[in-house]
Amino acid sequence: MAERKPARARTRQSAESTPAEASEGFTDEEKAAMKERAQELKAAARRGPRAAKADGENDVLAKIAEMPQPDRAMAERLHALIKASAPALSPRTWYGMPAYARDGDVVCFFQSGQKFKTRYSTLGFSDKANLDEGNMWPAGFALKQLTAAEEARIAALVKKAVS
């Protein structure tokens, strides 16, 4: 009769033998974003709500400055555009990305394409954005570059999101 392994050893062995395809886990970029979010929450708790609001702008500008071109130029333009279109939104970081919040809730955010090694950047809207149109509407937009047409559309979307 074969020797039976202890339960703990059997569990470890079965976990180790799980196919890689079934359990890839988080990418390094996703892990880094989660760590950044944890740091953001700790910093906000230390600073308090008033200081967090004031520091949000500096945090966003610092994150934008870290971005490689051309995403940095796009993020700088979006930052100015969002602030002009919806002055009620407060800049803050969210998972290490520039984001804009109302009453502490993120309404929209910019995700650099280079952050997650994708072929385009993303302007995303959360469920707090008032963009509802029937039973289905876009909540994220791929951005490769900003022209006057995209800027006008973004300004209208941001205004609608906070209406």
| Distance in angstroms (rounded) separating the CA atoms of residues 163 and 161 | 6
Mean pLDDT of the chain: 85
**Residue 40 domain flag:** yes
Is pLDDT of 12 > 90? no
pLDDT category at 79 given cuts 50, 70, 90 is very high
Residue with tokens 């051309």: 70
**Segment 25-56, tens digit of pLDDT:** 988 888 888 888 788 777 777 766 655 566 89
Tokens of 47: 């600073």
Question: Measuring CA to CA, which residue among 141, 135, 136 is closest to residue 158?
Answer: 141
| Distance in angstroms (rounded) separating the CA atoms of residues 136 and 143 | 21
CATH number at residue 112: 3.90.1150.200
pLDDT, mean of residues 1-19: 48
pLDDT category at 19 given cuts 50, 70, 90 is very low
Angle at 73 between CA 101 and CA 142, to 5 degrees: 65
Number of folded domains that form the chain = 1
**Residue 21 domain flag:** no
pLDDT category at 13 given cuts 50, 70, 90 is very low
The predicted structure's pLDDT at residue 152 = 98
pLDDT category at 159 given cuts 50, 70, 90 is very high
**Residue 154 domain flag:** yes
Residue ranges making up the domain that contains 116 = 26-161
Burial of 142 (0-12, 13-18, 19+ CB in 10 A): exposed
Is pLDDT of 87 > 70? yes
Amino acid making up residue 90: S
